[in-house]
Amino acid sequence: MSVTHDAHIQVRNPASTAQRPAARAWPDINNPAAWIVAAILLIMPLIANGFFLIEIFATTLILGTIALSLMFLAGYGGMVSLMQLTIAGFAAYMVAVFGVSGNANISLGWPWWLAVPMALMLATIFGTLGGALAVRTEGIYTIMITLAIGAAFYYFTNQNWAIFNGHTGINNVGTPHFWGVDWRWDIPFYYVVLAVAAICYFAVDYISRAPFGLALQGVRDNPRRMAALGFNVNAHRVAAYAVASFIAGLAGVLQVWNYRQISPGSVSVGACIDVLIIAVVGGITRPVGPYIGALVFVLLRTFALDFLVKIGLDGNRFRLLIGLGFLAIVFWSSDGVIGLWQRWRQSYYSQSDRPAGGRGHG
Amino acid sequence: MDSVARRLSAVGAGAALELRGVTRLFGALAALTDVTITVRPGERRAVLGSNGAGKTTLFNCITGDFPPTSGTIRFFGEDVTHFPPYERIRRGLRRTYQISALFPGLTVQDNVYLACRGVSRGRFSFLRPGQNDALMHAADGLVQAVHLSAVKDQRVAELAHGQQRQLEIALALAGAPRFVLFDEPAAGLSPTERVELVEILTSLPAHIGYIIIEHDMDVALRVVESVTMMHNGRIFKEGLPEEIQSDPEVQELYLGGGHE
């Protein structure tokens, strides 16, 4: 035990140095692994069939973007918000309510290009108001307040029939259709999702080195000193919630187009916590973490059932696998999968001077 | 002394900092009782006193980290008693902390850049600073002034203690400070680093006044022209450094008890 412990400490420092490169350039632009991943994502429709394209990769990118909004708040701002899925769900509901759906008595029938900005605006306002409540607290109380907002929204959608259509939710939600393309077809939809996820990923990465993002990291490290440098700490935190809410809202719009329906089950407390698991499993120090976490989560959710049935266990135990994986990752790496990856690479480098090739995420 | 007089007359009349009857209670405990101090612009003053004399609480009241329970605080004539800390900082007040209060996850350069950004516009800017960003150049200058250029791209968590203390000072000098509160800047510094600290303090522009809390008399009395002695949350004595040093009561209370 003591040997592994020592190795752990040795590796720790260089790895954490590499975590936040000081160079003010695009990250990964010189990283061949990032280019390979980008290329694979772009030609995915040639490789993967419709099931993999949508059920695995598009779903991963959507969930990853919701988790990215949490990573932005938690990793840069030190605020763990459990309501990010609720904000995404709120945006999804608003798309269904303002746009076109099978419930003609609820939906207003606006075209998507009006319904989506409206949904994004309302979701951002909703998340910002929730954030304004949450920033008055720290640590575990932030988690409690945001969880309470998530739970309240879940029960409200269950019981409200006038707007949210109760526990049945809103079905047959309309998806965009223009330039002769049905954008919910698998391949166009995959590219829409990929584009939105890429924009969110690069935006978060860009902002992290801009004054707003640096100040947010300052607030995370030492809020009192930030005030003593002239920053209005609470205003900064609320603004961070606004940014995160907008990102979560974007993902929510994609989610409702993906499933073409939204119901309270999609915004349950369990689903809120899934987003936290995704972000922590992937790692919350860098924007790529949530996407890795989402891929692990979606793969487990999709295939653990078959796997468990095959070895003679109850398929519904897939959450047990996720839970065990979560425990293992948190136990061995406080920085999720990307932390494990960095430590592995670090030890690889220290063993040989050859540069490591192969798998990587960008 | 002549140069001091010239310097003080150059910055004009009026008080930089004016505390009237400032009291701060923590429950039943009075950390400060009826403190009245006037500091002129450009004046450099040491606050001495044993542990628990209320020196750091005084700083916290002046910056607004803790508001005073009663009394008023004026900064260059403006009543700032009920202002949040960041409003006071934006008006030219600065402080350092006894225990370094830095941003360990960020680089030295980013720490100083944040300090420069905090007292200028664009705190919420979403645009990365470019090559010719004025604040980035200002940050470079400050990093250089506190001799940290060699480590400017290192994360603060990896700096030595002395370097962190120097960075602590750099953060307080960003922008256009008018008055600085230094809370034990020499704590934990080596003798060489103390010499550098004295150099940094004495080479500050003349219009910048400060109050320094310092236990090291060699540092404190070399960089100030007046001294306030505190005891049990009250002002005990005020005077010139040599008067305080030779005062029998002060010696008994503070300097006598096995100093150094």
Q: How far is B158 from chain A (nearest CA, A)?
A: 9
The owner of tokens 């440098």 is A229
Q: How far is A37 from chain B (nearest CA, A)?
A: 26
Farthest CA pair distance, chain B: 60
Tell me the pLDDT tens digit for each residue of A74-97: 999 989 999 999 999 999 999 999
- Nearest CA-CA partner of B92 in B42, B49, B47: B42
- B63 neighbors B85 (Cβ within 8 angstroms): yes
Q: Which of residues 24-83 of A touch B (CB under 8 A)?
A: 24
CB pairs under 8 A between A and B: 113
Question: What distance in Å separates the CA atoms of residue B196 and residue B194, rounded to the nearest whole number?
Answer: 5
Average pLDDT over residues A287-293: 90
Please give the residue that has the higher pLDDT: either B166 or A45: B166
At B4, the pLDDT band (50, 70, 90 cuts) reads: low
Question: What distance in Å separates the CA atoms of residue A116 and residue A36, rounded to the nearest whole number?
Answer: 33
Tell me the pLDDT tens digit for each residue of B123-145: 888 888 877 788 888 888 889 88
User: What Å distances lie between residue A149 and A82, A83, A134, A141, A168, CA to CA?
Assistant: 9, 7, 10, 12, 21
Question: What distance in Å separates the CA atoms of residue A231 and residue B87, rounded to the nearest whole number?
Answer: 9
Average pLDDT over residues B211-225: 85
- Judge whether residue A65 has pLDDT over 80: yes
Kindly report which listed range (A329-338, B62-71, B87-96) carries the lowest average pLDDT score: A329-338
Contact B128 A24 (CB under 8 A): yes
Cβ of residue B229 closer than 8 Å to a chain A Cβ: no
Q: Which residue of B has its CA nearest to A233?
A: B86
Contact B65 A224 (CB under 8 A): yes
Q: Which of B94, B105, B171 lies nearest to residue A217, judging by beta carbons?
A: B105
Q: How far is A239 from chain B (nearest CA, A)?
A: 8
Question: What distance in Å separates the CA atoms of residue B106 and residue B92, rounded to the nearest whole number?
Answer: 24
Average pLDDT over residues A113-138: 92
Neighbours of B204 (CB within 10 A): 18
Cβ of residue A225 closer than 8 Å to a chain B Cβ: yes
Q: Which of A16, A207, A231 lies nearest to residue B118, judging by beta carbons?
A: A231
Which of B75, B113, B117, B156 to probe by mutation at the A interface, max A CB count within 10 Å?
B117
Question: What distance in Å separates the CA atoms of residue A55 and residue A252, rounded to the nearest whole number?
Answer: 16
- Nearest CA-CA partner of A146 in A194, A100, A215, A77: A77
Q: Which residue of B has its CA nearest to A236?
A: B124
At A1, the pLDDT band (50, 70, 90 cuts) reads: very low
Question: What pLDDT is attached to residue A315?
Answer: 67
Q: Chain B contacts of A222, Cβ < 8 Å?
A: 101-103
- B89 neighbors B115 (Cβ within 8 angstroms): no
Taking the CA atoms of residue A340, residue A346, residue A348 and residue A354 in that order, the dihedral angle to the nearest 10 degrees is 140
- The reply to whether ipTM tops 0.85 is no
Class of residue B13 by CB neighbours under 10 A (exposed 0-12, middle 13-18, buried 19+): exposed
- Nearest CA-CA partner of B103 in A290, A222, A302: A222
Contact A218 B103 (CB under 8 A): yes
Q: Chain B contacts of A220, Cβ < 8 Å?
A: 105
Question: What distance in Å separates the CA atoms of residue B254 and residue A175, rounded to the nearest whole number?
Answer: 78
Kind of pairing between the strands at B70-75 and B17-26: antiparallel
At A13, the pLDDT band (50, 70, 90 cuts) reads: very low
Q: How far is CA A279 from the centre of its chain?
A: 7
Q: Which of A220, A224, A236 lies nearest to residue B101, judging by beta carbons?
A: A224
Q: Classify residue A290 by its DSSP letter.
A: H
Specify which residues B155 forms β-bridges with.
B107
